[in-house]
Chains A and B, each alone.
Chain A
Amino acid sequence: MNINKLHEDYKASLRKERMWVRFYQLLILVLFFVIWEVASTLRWIDQLIFSSPSKIGHLFVEKVADYSLLYHSSYTLFETVLGFILGTLVGTILAAILWWSPFLSKVLDPYLVVLNSMPKVALGPILIVALGPGMSSIITMGALISVIISTIVIYTAFRTVDSNYLKVLQTFNASRTQMFKEAILPASFPTIISTLKVNVGLSWVGVIVGEFLVSSQGLGYLIIYGFQVFNFNLVLLSLLVIAVFATIMYQLVELLEKRLIKNE
């Protein structure tokens, strides 16, 4: 028996499986676009509503050439990233305050439940009046949509950290700040990361709805504009761009996860 050879075989079989997974993933992507194109050309589906990859492709080239796509997407991207960071950061800070004062957390509990159940996008009109129809109200919307759920989830993670870790720190005469820094926060990193992953999606919802309501720029604006002039090529192009950006953001969060969580 040759252990080395068996190991090589095993590694080769892993490589082979990875290759096939990639192959099928690509196949689905290609088939999707091909079927879409064919269905559109042969008029199985309404070209006016569902457009076709080639038309969207042409529009893409056109919009890249006149810089308008870059202009609109950079607006939206900026708003989303800022809303996302603000939502998670404020959520974590609020969770820390609740952890700090168990009394306050008991007092605020029903309010958190109400705020969480309320559809935040319904606040849009009020935000626009209060903050003006511009970027700040859109960013606020992107943050608002994720902040309460982040607070609740992260606070729950803080509370469920094994109290024996705190006992160890207490015998070292650690202050509450030190306990938070040394045990509570690092033990909750996995939860914070999964909150980040959820928030990527949520902040896109907030920002796009915000742009539907107010703005004169951004991908949300392109969608609503395309809808109003019945240009569904534009709507679908914007959607595809959003999908690409959202995926990239998600991948970045996963990268952060690998750097932050070393003990797995």
Chain B
Amino acid sequence: MSFLTVSKVHHTYFSSKTATEALQDINLTIEKGEFVSFIGPSGCGKTTLLSILAGLFPPTAGKVLIEEQDVFANADLSIGYMLQQDYLFPWRTIEENVTLGLKLLKVNKDESEKLASKLLADVGLPSIEKKYPRELSGGMRQRVALARTLAVDPKILLLDEPFSALDYQSKLKLEDLVHKLMKEYGKTAVLVTHDIGEAIAMSDRIFLFSAKPGRLYQTFEVPEEVRNLTPFEARANPMYSSLFQTIWKELESLEH
């Protein structure tokens, strides 16, 4: 049994006028410690699938299991979810933001504060605990959001284009950081992205989706050699370029 299993998932969005099929017969598995990416044209349902993995809503049909437990409305299962923007709570200090999940789990305050400063140091932001989010730059805020997500020790990290709103330099640095931390903490992660390069540089496997309705079109293995490099180094590897070309062509063929 795999760590995460998606079996026969369909999802349809209903409104009073239309029923839009977003996902059709999705089957996939992800192993523990793996880093995978979902890519595809807009409207391919990759964000819908991620939300279903996060247990935000149940699929219209089918099942999503993590370690054989259903993900929807499961309070025992902790899931880390990072969005395009940081969504730090502006009225809370950085420390209070990082410990938010722990507070909801009723973890002792001293303990969570200790963990917060360790995590903030891990994401490269020591001694900013008492500041407010508005005092930080976009890249720093997204790092804090990462620390907040890691604080509850989630079983899996779901990343919904968390680097897309950042400037290029911050984006590259944050990719390296996330990649390094996922390996260090041994976390399983799923990244949704538009950026083929980012997907190759960061993941072990890439799922390509086709649109209308969203279907799993093809799966790519990232070569071992590229996987062992940091995302920044990976971009300079020749195998990176050839995989980029392959995926690019597939994506082009999907859009025409």
Question: A interface, how many residues as a size bin?
Answer: 20 to 34
B104 at the binding interface (Cβ < 8 Å)? yes
Interface size on B, residues (CB 8 A): 22
- A173-B75, A173-B78 are known contacts. Are A262 and B91 too (CB-CB below 8 A)? yes
List chain B positions with a Cβ less than 8 A from chain A: 54-56, 75, 78-81, 83, 85, 87, 89-91, 100-101, 104-105, 132-134, 152
| B90: chain A residues within 8 A (beta carbon) | 263
Give the interface SS of chain B, mostly helix, strand, loop or mixed.
loop
List chain A positions with a Cβ less than 8 A from chain B: 162, 164-165, 167-174, 178, 182-183, 186-187, 189, 261-263
- Among A165, A189, A263, the residue within 8 A (CB) of B87 is A165
What's the Cα separation between A80 and B91 when bound, in Å? 31
- A172-B101, A186-B91 are known contacts. Are A167 and B81 too (CB-CB below 8 A)? yes
- A173-B75, A262-B91 are known contacts. Are A167 and B132 too (CB-CB below 8 A)? no
**B83 with A167: CB separation less than 8 A:** yes
| B83: chain A residues within 8 A (beta carbon) | 164, 167-168
What's the Cα separation between A186 and B100 when bound, in Å? 14
What's the Cα separation between A173 and B106 when bound, in Å? 12
**A171 with B56: CB separation less than 8 A:** yes
**A164 with B85: CB separation less than 8 A:** yes
Please give the distance in Å from B109's CB to the nearest CB on chain A.
15
Please give the distance in Å from B64's CB to the nearest CB on chain A.
14
| A187: chain B residues within 8 A (beta carbon) | 91
What's the Cα separation between A178 and B54 when bound, in Å? 19
| B104: chain A residues within 8 A (beta carbon) | 169, 172-174, 178, 182
**B89 with A186: CB separation less than 8 A:** yes
